[in-house]
Amino acid sequence: MDNYPRFLEPLKSHWRWIAASVAIVFLILAIWFSLSGSEAPRPDGESKIALPEGVAGKVGDVQVTEEALKLAEIEVAPAEVRLVRDRITATGIVKTGGNQVAKVTPHVAGEVVEIFALPGDQVQRNQVLARMLSPELARAQAAYRQAASRVNVLQADLDRKRQLAKLGEYGSGELEDSRSRAVEAERGLYLASRSVAEKEAAVAEAESNLKVRQHELRQAESELKVRQAAYNRSKSVPELASLQQLERLQADVDKARSDVAASEARIIEGEARVKAALNAFETVQGEHPLAKKELGIRRQALAREEKVFSGGYSQQRELLSAESALEMALAELNGAAEEVQLLGGEPGGTGETLLRSPIKGKVDSSFLTLGEHVDTEHTCFTVIDLDKVWVELAVAPKDIASIEVDDEVEVRADSNPGKILQAVVTSIGSVADPTTKTVPVLAKVEDTGGRLAAGSYVKGLVTTETRQERLTVPKGALQEHTGRSTLYVARPEGKGTFEVRHVVLGAEGEDWREIAEGLNPGESLATRGTFYLKSEALKSALSDGCCSVGE
């Protein structure tokens, strides 16, 4: 290169570009030959070999001149051994759950009148999925409107009475009415107390009768044993009793059995009466506190009336009554509003209820038909948020010790080939599956873009913190021949001679790749300028199934 003629001196700096252009031309020619079915001529004695896919090994040789080595800037260096984080491969399945899956059910039973979402649709949080009409919600809305109307009437009545009070329309209050209501409340409490006592006595009577009948049953069973024993004794010694006596004894046994059955029936009846008495007792027990509470309210009202009356504030009586009535009406209105909201409606609206998605995601399934009547236990839609899912990997027990929480995982799904999703180990199982003998490892996949289908199979590559010595090469040393990773290993017998070798790749770094199979420590290979070697290999028809072997 240093003895160029002077007329070539201007071209000296352009040799690199000329060489690259020549390589591209050769590559185009090689592709044309392969498409047209032609095959470049081979020297006699050269054979063709084809390696099965995924198998490492030599597929041919390529030789270039020393001048071409310099022009293509081909560099040769030995493969390096470095500490590489261990990677564990496992298969698994996509799982969803928790707050990533929502089963949409109606708050109230009703008829489906419109469906807005179908399986496969993407929906947002609170998006309407369907519309229903509910008679129960319509009744709740009617009760709410009635309560609201009552509040308006009582508010107007309170405003009117306040105006009348300013004009001095009210004299003495209706103290006697308040006293009468207090007395009525006392009577109600007395009746409730007496009812409790009566029901309690009824329970005691029923339990006493049941004990009597249980005693009668024991007596009947004892009598049956006696009769049965007498019969068995007479029957076992025929000479002691005549046939007539045996028949009489048998009749006594049958009667005793009948008495036992009757006693048992009476016990069942007695137990039913005890249960009924207890139910009645519990009912009146529940009414007693209400009566007591009402009496307390009436007494408070009476004390207030007496204080107002004795203090000369009798004109406020009507106002207090109106305010109390308004407060009760407001409480009823709030209760009616809560009832409407519990049924999925807006207070003051119609009997229409809307089914909304509680999460953002994709509609996985729909179980609605127009005109169908559905109840509150009917699952109408299933919505799945696939932006955050979990994969459960089945890891061999020998590899579990190397895996830790927060280890990174590369996920490849059969349902989405060619895409690599990133995940992180969130939990490691402590018990192996009894069938597969593998240990489950959960990894959370973020930002899937909905590309993982629930239940689909995946392959996971877990990168652990465990370091192993691995043989690595620069990424620039790798080329592809018909989709297979290929290296150009320098032959020791001559500079410029390279063995074209398929290899199996392992872990990947920022600027290097692990060679899992196909390369030995200490072997030298081309680390730069490999595209030119690939072009030369293609020019010489060096590809899978048609590669010359030059030994």
3-state secondary structure (DSSP) of residue 8: helix
Residue 257: per-residue pLDDT: 84
- Cβ–Cβ < 8 Å for 280, 269: no
Give the CA-trace dihedral at 472, 478, 484, 488, to 10 degrees: -90
CA-based nearest residue to 95, from 526, 411, 401 = 411
Mind listing the pLDDT tens digit for each residue in 243-296?
Answer: 777 778 788 888 888 888 888 888 888 888 888 888 887 887 787 788 888 888
Residue 373: per-residue pLDDT: 92
Of 90-104, 452-466, 475-489, 505-519, the range with the highest mean pLDDT is 475-489
Mean pLDDT calculated for residue range 526-536: 88
Residue 98: per-residue pLDDT: 58
Give how far Cα 182 sits from Cα of 186, 287, 319, 446, Å. Answer: 6, 18, 19, 68
Cα gap 298→122, rounded to integer Å = 59
Q: Is 514 exposed, middle or buried (0-12, 13-18, 19+ CB in 10 A)?
A: buried
Residue 547, pLDDT above cutoff 50: no
Provide the pLDDT confidence category of residue 551 given band limits of 50, 70 and 90.
Answer: very low
Cα gap 131→111, rounded to integer Å = 9
Residue 279: per-residue pLDDT: 87
Residue 255: per-residue pLDDT: 86
Residue 487: per-residue pLDDT: 92
Give how far Cα 100 sits from Cα of 105, 111, 360, 428, 444, Å. Answer: 16, 28, 9, 21, 12
Of 18-32, 107-121, 398-412, 506-520, the range with the highest mean pLDDT is 107-121
Residue 32, pLDDT above cutoff 50: no
Mean pLDDT calculated for residue range 199-213: 85
- Cβ–Cβ < 8 Å for 353, 138: no
Segments in 466-513 forming alpha helices (H): none
What are the contacts of 430-435 at 24+ separation with CB within 8 A? 432/397, 433/394
Portion of the chain with pLDDT greater than 90, in percent = 12
Provide the pLDDT confidence category of residue 6 given band limits of 50, 70 and 90.
Answer: very low
Mean pLDDT calculated for residue range 357-378: 89
Mind listing the pLDDT tens digit for each residue in 477-507?
Answer: 899 887 789 999 998 877 888 999 999 887 7
Give one word for 86, left, alpha or beta, with left for phi > 0 and alpha for psi -120 to 50: beta
Those residues whose C-beta lies under 8 Å from the C-beta of residue 273, and which sit 6 or more positions away, are 206, 209, 210
Portion of the chain with pLDDT greater than 70, in percent = 81
Of 71-80, 150-159, 508-517, the one with minimum mean pLDDT is 508-517
Provide the pLDDT confidence category of residue 80 given band limits of 50, 70 and 90.
Answer: confident
Handedness of CA 75, 78, 84, 90 (dihedral sign): positive
Provide the pLDDT confidence category of residue 34 given band limits of 50, 70 and 90.
Answer: very low
Residue 316: per-residue pLDDT: 63
Where do the domains of the chain lie, and which CATH numbers do they carry?
Answer: 6-83+469-548 (2.40.420.20), 92-98+384-468 (2.40.30.170), 104-133+353-381 (2.40.50.100), 172-314 (1.10.287.620)
Task: Write a three-state SS string for 13-49.
Answer: HHHHHHHHHHHHHHHHHHHHHHHHCCCCCCCCCCCEE
Cα gap 97→383, rounded to integer Å = 11
Mind listing the pLDDT tens digit for each residue in 145-181?
Answer: 999 999 999 999 888 877 876 665 554 445 677 778 8
3-state secondary structure (DSSP) of residue 244: helix
Do the bridges between strand 524-528 and strand 75-78 make them parallel or antiparallel, or are there none, so unpaired?
antiparallel
Residue, of 163 and 33, whose pLDDT is higher: 163
Structure tokens, 361? 């995601």
Structure tokens, 406? 């927060």
CA-based nearest residue to 394, from 436, 429, 430, 438 = 438
Structure tokens, 312? 């000369």
Mean pLDDT calculated for residue range 467-483: 84
Of 213-222, 307-316, 468-477, the one with minimum mean pLDDT is 307-316
Average pLDDT for the chain? 79
- Cβ–Cβ < 8 Å for 3, 510: no
Mind listing the pLDDT tens digit for each residue in 42-53?
Answer: 333 333 455 665
Residue, of 322 and 148, whose pLDDT is higher: 148
Q: What is the DSSP string of 358-426?
A: SSSEEEEEE---TT-EE-TT---EEEE-TTEEEEEEEE-HHHHTT--TT-EEEEEETTEEEEEEEEEEE
Mean pLDDT calculated for residue range 450-467: 77
Give one word for 441, left, alpha or beta, with left for phi > 0 and alpha for psi -120 to 50: beta
Residue 158: per-residue pLDDT: 85
| Structural Rg of the chain based on CA atoms | 47
Q: What is the DSSP letter of 452?
A: S
Phi/psi of residue 469, nearest 5 degrees? -75, 125
Residue 13: per-residue pLDDT: 45
Mind listing the pLDDT tens digit for each residue in 444-457?
Answer: 887 666 667 777 88
Cα gap 211→267, rounded to integer Å = 9
Provide the pLDDT confidence category of residue 39 given band limits of 50, 70 and 90.
Answer: very low
Residue 260: per-residue pLDDT: 85
